[in-house]
Amino acid sequence: MTYQAAAGDVRPVPDSASGPANERSAVIDLDAIRHNVRHVAAVASPAKVMAVVKADAYGHGAVPVARAALEAGARWLGVAHISEALALRAAGIEAPLLAWLHTPESNFSAAVAAGIDIGCSGWELDKIVLAAREQERPARVHLKVDTGLGRNGATLEAWDSLVGEAMEYQDEGLLRVVGIFSHLAVADEPHRPETDEQLKAFREVLAIAEDAGVDPEVRHLANTPATLSRPDTHFDLVRVGLGIYGLSPFEGQTPAELGLRPAMTVRTKVSHCKDVPAGQGVSYGLNYHTAGASTLGLIPMGYADGVPRVATGGPVRVEGRNYPVVGRIAMDQMVIDLGPRGVASGGASVLGAEAVLFGDGADGGPTADDWARAAGTINYEIVTRISPRVPRHYINEGQAEGQGGAG
Ligand SMILES: *Cc1c(COP(=O)(O)O)cnc(C)c1O
């Protein structure tokens, strides 16, 4: 038997009082989530919004984000794994819910039993039908076609026969083809022609399916960038992940320019502040040396918290200024160079000061995009990899069932 630690197993109990006083936390603003969902829903209308909450809602917390997204008008939820969908059902979430990435080990029976819609790229069909027979309940299936991404989805060559087989099973009452979908490859680069080609291919496969008698509730193609830049890709439903979290999928366009508000702020407290002489080497490898006598601030987060080790130079905001991380980022900690302060002789220490790695970027504060640049990656990865070691703290939770209104 393999032992898999649940995320909750490794979450530390906050040492200090709950709330923003925590030693370190990822603060998730559920009002920002709701704002972003409403904004995306207005852009997509009359198409409906599927809030994509895979990977623990890109690190934001699947259950609270799913609830906030549904409150704000998302009609569907989307995840990659059936196990992620089952966790949402276990939390009492009953909205239409699609899971699209499977292995032969996936629990299709549990998905059918829980009324989870199942993405099907081909081989899954027999497993899904087996599960439906077992559960004596028709499965809800979204057929997935590869229109050019070259990842999951049936090839165009296999589409005819997949649709034909699915319809035979539908006639037998074993499943219902609820949706037809595909995924875009380059929608974040709106000038590229491949999106047009994928759209054309998608229209063709829809026509084939309709000729075969498929009458889907939802046809869906658009991710966040396509939702924001290509109304012709909206069809009946848009699958929005990144935009729900308030981040921009486009190089050179800020969330604010897109009407979005970043929902996650990662912050901690400075855990040491000391004067050092000129030439002080900093952190493993001694790759950085102070230019002159200087004061170093120790930031108690590192790669075990999900800060990429390669992201030296990433900004940390302390007392209204952004300081680049100097030297190597370690497992638990990293260092900023504050310049000479003379704390030993009464200069201002920043011990215990609030240190923000990234947030909504207001007032020149650092952003997930800044860290993405420092790490040579994308904002998706920065927020998603913030580890379970960092407690999530929710603000603006609103009127949750069974609780008083926290505002
Ligand atoms: C992750 C994912 C999405 C969401 O993409 P964003 O760019 O975050 O909006 C949509 N569809 C599929 C199939 C996905 O895997």
| Per-residue model confidence as pLDDT tens digits over 61-90 | 999 999 999 999 999 999 999 999 999 999
Average pLDDT over residues 95-121: 98
pLDDT of residue 360 exceeding 90, the answer is: yes
Mean residue pLDDT across the chain: 94
- The answer to whether the CB of 239 is under 6 A from ligand 1 is yes
Average pLDDT over residues 129-145: 98
% of residues, the chain, pLDDT over 90: 92
pLDDT at 218: 98
Q: Which of ligand 1's atoms lies nearest the C-alpha of 224?
A: 9
Average pLDDT over residues 125-153: 98
How many angstroms is it from 224 CA to the middle of ligand 1?
Answer: 7
Residue 58: pLDDT band by 50, 70, 90 thresholds? very high
pLDDT at 403: 38
pLDDT tens string 297-321: 999 999 999 999 999 999 999 999 9
Cβ 338 vs Cβ 251: under 8 Å: no
Q: Strands 237-240 and 48-52: what pairing? A: parallel
Q: Which of ligand 1's atoms lies nearest the C-alpha of 249?
A: 7
pLDDT of residue 13 exceeding 90, the answer is: no
SS3 label, residue 176: strand
Residue 319's nearest CA partner among 347, 338, 344 is 338
pLDDT of residue 399 exceeding 80, the answer is: no
pLDDT at 398: 83
pLDDT at 17: 53
Q: Is 3 exposed, middle or buried (0-12, 13-18, 19+ CB in 10 A)?
A: exposed
| Crossing angle between the packed helical segments 156-171 and 194-211, to the nearest 10 degrees | 30
pLDDT at 22: 85
Residue nearest to atom 1 of ligand 1 (CA): 241
CA distance 176 to 140: 5
Active-site residues: which are they? 54, 284
Angle at 6 between CA 58 and CA 359, to 5 degrees: 30
How many angstroms is it from 145 CA to the middle of ligand 1?
Answer: 15
Average pLDDT over residues 321-328: 98
Angle at 277 between CA 271 and CA 278, to 5 degrees: 120
CA distance 267 to 87: 28
pLDDT of residue 34 exceeding 90, the answer is: yes
pLDDT of residue 53 exceeding 90, the answer is: yes
- The answer to whether the CB of 76 is under 6 A from ligand 1 is no
pLDDT at 10: 45
Here the contacts of 85-89 (C-beta below 8 Å, separation 24 or greater) are 85/111, 85/114, 85/116, 86/110, 86/111, 86/114, 86/116, 87/62, 87/63, 88/53, 88/62, 88/63, 89/114, 89/115, 89/116
- The one-letter amino acid at 94: E
What structural domains and CATH numbers belong to the chain? 30-245 (3.20.20.10), 264-395 (2.40.37.10)
pLDDT of residue 12 exceeding 70, the answer is: no
pLDDT at 5: 42
Best of 76, 102, 220, 239 for a ligand 1 pocket test (most atoms within 8 Å of beta carbon):
239
CA distance 127 to 175: 12
Residue nearest to atom 15 of ligand 1 (CA): 80
- The answer to whether the CB of 235 is under 6 A from ligand 1 is no
pTM: 0.93
How many angstroms is it from 19 CA to the middle of ligand 1?
Answer: 31
- The answer to whether the CB of 153 is under 6 A from ligand 1 is no
Angle at 311 between CA 256 and CA 186, to 5 degrees: 50
- The answer to whether the CB of 227 is under 6 A from ligand 1 is no
How many angstroms is it from 185 CA to the middle of ligand 1?
Answer: 10
Classify 349 in phi/psi space as left (phi over 0), alpha (psi -120 to 50) or beta. Answer: beta
Average pLDDT over residues 285-299: 98
CA distance 93 to 82: 14
Average pLDDT over residues 136-140: 98
Residue nearest to atom 4 of ligand 1 (CA): 241
How many angstroms is it from 184 CA to the middle of ligand 1?
Answer: 9
pLDDT at 301: 98
